[in-house]
Amino acid sequence: MRMRMKALEFYPVVIIIALSMRIPCAFGLDVRLIGGPDIYSGRVEVRHDGVWGTVCDDGWDIQDATVVCRMLGFENASIATGYAKYGEGSSSIFLDNVHCSGLETDLGECSHNGFEVHDCQHSEDAGVMCSKNDLQVRLVGGQTALEGRVEVFFEGSWGTVCDDLWDLNDARVVCRMLGFQIAVTAVTSAEYGPGSGSIILDNVGCLGTERNLAECPHRGFENNDCGHDQDAGAVCANDLGLQVRLVGGQTALEGRVEVFFEGYWGTVCNDAWDLDDARVVCRMLGFQNAVRAVTGAEYGEGSGSIILDDVDCLGTEHDLTECSHNGYEIHNCGHSEDAGAVCANVRLVGGHTALEGRVEVFFEGSWGTVCDDLWDLDDARVVCRMLGFQTAVRAVVMAGYGPGSGSIILDNVQCLGTESNLDECSHNEYEIHDCIHNEDAGVVCSHESPLEVRLADGPNSREGRVEVLYQGSWGTICDDYWDSKDAKVVCRMLGFNRTLSARGRAAYGQGSGPILLDNVVCLGTENSLAECSHSGFGVHNCGHAEDAAAACSIDTTSELFEVRLGDGRSRNEGRVEVFYNTSWGTLCGAGWGLREADVVCRMLGFTDASDVLQNAAFGEGIGMVFLEGISCLGSENSLLDCTFTSFDANSCPHSQDVGVICKDTGALQLSTIRFDPTTSLGHPEHVFQGMPVPSAENSRSFSPVSIVLGAILAASYVLFLLLGLYGYHRLRKLERMTNNNSSEQPTSKGTGSPEAASAYLNLTSPSRKSTETPGKEAPGELIYMNLEVPENTIGGDQVYTDLSFTKGNDQEGPRPKYKAPMKPPVGRKPKSGRLGSPDRIDPSPLTQHDPIYDKCD
């Protein structure tokens, strides 16, 4: 038994050592991306033993994401995401603490905890955004190489592009890919004849600045609603356009605008000159935007011809020749009206579109990066405004768009968000920093004005169907991935500080008009839904029966939400009850685990939880039932910071009330059952055994094998306990039997004889008979009973593996090896009689002073 106990004490230590090892796998894994808006991004899932499961985001970084993207055939990864950005998985969590160098060709070559060894929930599922591979394009069916039907090469074959949304910006990208300078026309309706094979792209929406069609938004490869009678085309040109320069400024970013025409440089008249015209000039010079349009020869008067007058650009053109003007050298100006421009000293690099990328600034003739120390959305807003966008939707850190090269120009940038230029913000001196390029900052900008949101068709202004205003029309949101984090952002936009529920399935009735958003995934900290991930405006696979809804509140957590434990045996255990809106209620236990219990215990001042008890283990409560479908990370300060599907959970009965046991020590509390022989039932008692034990966090990560072995050991203890009970009650029955027959004359065959007792109890006795004469003490007969029982089970006394009882005190023959102190039955006194008397067993306690007993080693 003692050897067994030592093995048991050593067993958890072995498991802890095994769990702490980082395990590199030598075999390949299948990997896929799920839940993303396109094939380039999504939740990472791996297949193990024929089942798909997720990866926890602990330690997840760009190197790990790079390996995943490379496995999927992409060149690189642009972003590594966490916190279930692309929705929560539903199967097993296979990998945790993945650590790749970025050079591996398979996740199986990276170190990790081991399959299904983790301390995570699906709210921590990892994801990636892969860099889009370049597409090949060609023009077919035209009279020259400059024109034709646009075809792209995808998965080994050529296919066409549908003309939905096809415009000059899309054609510009195609022409640029083919080495031509400009696009003249975007062709629709299969003007160059219908193609054959697959229609590869549809709803292409380029800004015109992209390097490759793969960088433009589209519906997805081979996802279309077109026929070949809608095949798109393009007409390109090799016209180099005008050359332009800035003269007279203090830096390359500013100066008088001069253009090169027919072999000489000339100026531009400032009639109708504005910021849109200046933007085109700056774009021609390689800058992404202009911050000011200059008039009145501010950079000095030029000489020579005035080449252009009344220039009128939209601001999206790539060359001044694409803008309207009077004609070359047709003007009514003098050089005192020479126009100028100031270009933005910032650009975005490495993004999928012109709206996003690594922030780079122009300083002393070269481009450099910005360190992400203190980088936030206010800084991003200034950058986006400098580039001509309406607003910023995300501030990106940790080289989310890849590390740059060259100098790090700015560090510790702190903007208010209202500045017109980064130079107006607080920051270190130029090129003074403590960073590396793995900390390069980035932004995601938006052309859209801030979203407006409202709650429709609810019983009051605090709840209803969520609707957003987009391009002048109100529309709904699909409930795919909709949860309390998304609803929390909606409530924040409306000025509420509490989210009561996130509901789907058109809980407040079906809306009308467009479905504007789908697959919305927020962290819960955003200030606008525009900052959350989604499929794109108007891109969905839903009907209005899936319209999302939210219910908000203006209550404050500290005053109106308290927690207590009810009906426990001590202050650290009980049924979880919450005080909300002037009354106490209980919590629905469905889905509860140790992470949720940790939050409760922390709210009550304990360190964490040791157990969760389901199904009203502390009795059913009364009143309301709250927080249905709750899911916590375990680090929250309040249950209200966790994700839940509904604040009111009245569909959950009190029979599912949850209870917890909290602890206020870092050591694991082991539960031991002591059995009291005076009762028929034991009671649980928490006892610290003094042996090294894992922390609570590690204890939750035992493998299935360890759990099975532990269950076998526990079953063995229960078996030993039952055997002890069996022997105890048999001994009591023997006593009653012998007491009832104490007045009878013993015979060799009577029911009160030692032989009968031995046969009944299956005891062993020596064959020697008493030869005592009447009136003298007889050596007596010895009766031995051996029982296997566990340690520390009977009363408060120490009981050993071999438990032996005896009748008689003969010094000859076999002797019991172990002593077994016993207590008389409750309510009865020991009967008088000699120890050597053959007709009864004396139930009085046997002490260690009796010479017949040896002390147990």
Q: What is the pLDDT of residue 287?
A: 83
Query: Is the pLDDT reported for residue 514 higher than 70?
Result: yes
Does the pLDDT at position 727 exceed 60? yes
Q: What is the pLDDT of residue 24?
A: 39
In a domain, 121, yes or no: yes
Distance, in Å, from the CA atom of 281 to the CA atom of 268, rounded to the nearest integer, reads 11
Q: Domain total for the chain? A: 7
The token duo for 157 is: 């074959």
pLDDT in tens, 53-94: 999 998 898 889 989 988 887 777 878 888 888 889 988 999
Task: Please report whether residue 670 resides in a domain.
Answer: no
Mean pLDDT to the nearest integer, 301-309: 93
Q: Is residue 777 part of a domain?
A: yes
How far apart are alpha carbons 118 and 698 in whole angstroms? Answer: 9
Both 727 and 844 in one domain: the answer is yes
Question: What is the percentage of the chain residues whose pLDDT exceeds 90?
Answer: 29
Higher local confidence (pLDDT), 307 or 591: 307
Give residue 261's pLDDT.
Answer: 80
Contacts for 707 with CB less than 8 Å, ≥ 6 apart? none
pLDDT at residue 443, rounded to an integer: 92
Average confidence (pLDDT) over 445-457: 80
Q: Taking a C-beta distance cutoff of 8 angstroms, is the pair 669, 610 a contact?
A: yes
Q: How far apart are CA 822 and CA 844, in angstroms?
A: 7
Length of the chain: 857
Decide which of 343, 366, 383 is a domain's last residue: 343
Q: What is the average pLDDT value for the chain, to the nearest integer?
A: 76
Same domain, 123 and 193: no
Q: How far apart (Å, rounded) are the C-alpha atoms in residues 371 and 75? A: 25
Neighbouring C-beta atoms of residue 150, cutoff 10 Å: 30
Place of tokens 């030869």: 771
Which of 130, 146, 170 lies at the terminal end of a domain, its last residue? 130
Judged by DSSP in three states, 368 sits in strand
Same domain, 227 and 288: no
| 508-528: b (≥16 Cβ within 10 Å) or e | beebeebbbbbbbbbbbebeb
For CA atoms 458, 461, 463, 466, the dihedral sign is positive
φ, ψ dihedrals at 51, nearest 5°: -120, 140
Q: Is the pLDDT confidence value at 428 over 50?
A: yes
Q: Note whether residue 683 is domain-resident.
A: no
pLDDT: is 815 or 212 the higher one?
212
Q: How far is Cα of residue 402 from the mean position of the Cα atoms in its chain?
A: 23
**Same domain? 533 vs 562:** no
The answer to whether residue 851 is domain-embedded is: yes
Say if CB 517 and CB 529 are below 8 A apart: yes
Considering only residues 287 and 698, tell me which one the structure prediction assigns the higher pLDDT. 287
pLDDT greater than 80 at residue 46: yes
803/741 same-domain check: yes
Task: List the single range of 421-435, 598-612, 755-769 with lowest mean pLDDT.
Answer: 755-769
Spatial distance between the Cα atoms of 339 and 355, rounded to a whole number of angstroms: 28
For the residues 372-390, what does the mean pLDDT come to?
88
Calculate mean pLDDT across residues 202-218: 85
Pairing of strands 625-628, 583-587: parallel
The enclosing domain of 495 has a CATH number of 3.10.250.10
The Cα–Cα gap between 456 and 465 comes to: 5
| Residue in the block written with tokens 């009354």 | 583
Of 505, 531, 553, at which residue does a domain stop? 553
Residues 835, 808 contacting (CB under 8 angstroms): yes
The confidence score (pLDDT) of residue 762 equals 39
Residues 506, 353: Cα–Cα separation, whole Å: 34
Q: What angle do CA 118, 124, 130 make, to 5 degrees?
A: 110
- Name which of 234, 232, 133 is nearest 174 in CA terms: 234
Looking at the fold, whether 414 and 399 belong to one and the same domain comes out as yes
Element at 687 (helix H, strand E): strand 683-687
Q: Which two tokens stand for residue 373?
A: 């120390």
DSSP string, 580-605: ETTEEEEEB-TT--HHHHHHHHHHTT
Q: What is the pLDDT of residue 707?
A: 61
pLDDT digits (tens, 9 = 90+) for 322-343: 888 888 888 999 999 999 999 9
Using only C-alpha atoms, the chain has a radius of gyration, in whole angstroms, of: 41
In a domain, 7, yes or no: no
Are 575 and 566 in contact by the 8 Å Cβ rule? The answer is yes
Q: Is residue 756 classed as helix, strand or coil in its secondary structure? A: helix
pLDDT band at 708 (very low <50, low <70, confident <90, very high): low
pLDDT, average across residues 736-753: 48
Q: Is there a single domain that holds both residue 527 and residue 585?
A: no
Q: Is residue 179 part of a domain?
A: yes
Amino acid at 19: L
Contacts (Cβ under 8 Å, ≥6 apart) of 426? 412, 413, 414, 415
Q: What pLDDT, in 10s, does the model give residues 2-43? A: 333 334 343 333 333 333 333 334 356 889 999 887 777 899
pLDDT at 556 over 60: no
CA 505/CA 645 separation, integer angstroms: 13
- Beta strands 127-130 and 41-48, pairing class: antiparallel
Q: Are 224 and 162 in contact (CB under 8 A)?
A: yes
- Overall average pLDDT of the 657-679 stretch: 53
Nearest residue to 280 (alpha-carbon basis) of 249, 253, 314: 314
Quote the pLDDT of residue 748: 39
Predicted local confidence at residue 755, as pLDDT: 38
Complete DSSP assignment for 829-854:
PPPP--TT-TT----SPPPTTSTTPP
Q: Are residues 429 and 462 in the same domain?
A: no
Residue 778 structure tokens: 């007889």
Of residues 14 and 791, the one with the higher pLDDT is 791
Half-sphere exposure of residue 300: CA atoms within 13 angstroms, side-chain side: 10
In this structure, are 431 and 362 located in the same domain? yes
Q: What is the pLDDT of residues 118-139, one digit of tens each?
A: 999 998 999 998 876 778 899 9
Residue 233 identity: G
Report if residue 654 sits inside a domain.
yes
> Is residue 473 located within the same domain as residue 532?
yes
pLDDT tens string 809-819: 444 444 443 33
One domain, residues 219 and 288: no
Same domain, 233 and 248: no
> Of 6-15, 230-239, 420-429, where does the model show the most confidence?
420-429
Which helix (H) or strand (E) segment holds residue 135: the answer is none
Give the list of residues 6+ apart from residue 650 with CB closer than 8 angstroms, or none: 624, 625
Pairing outcome for strands 670-674 and 683-687 = antiparallel
- Domain with 267, as residue range(s), is 243-343
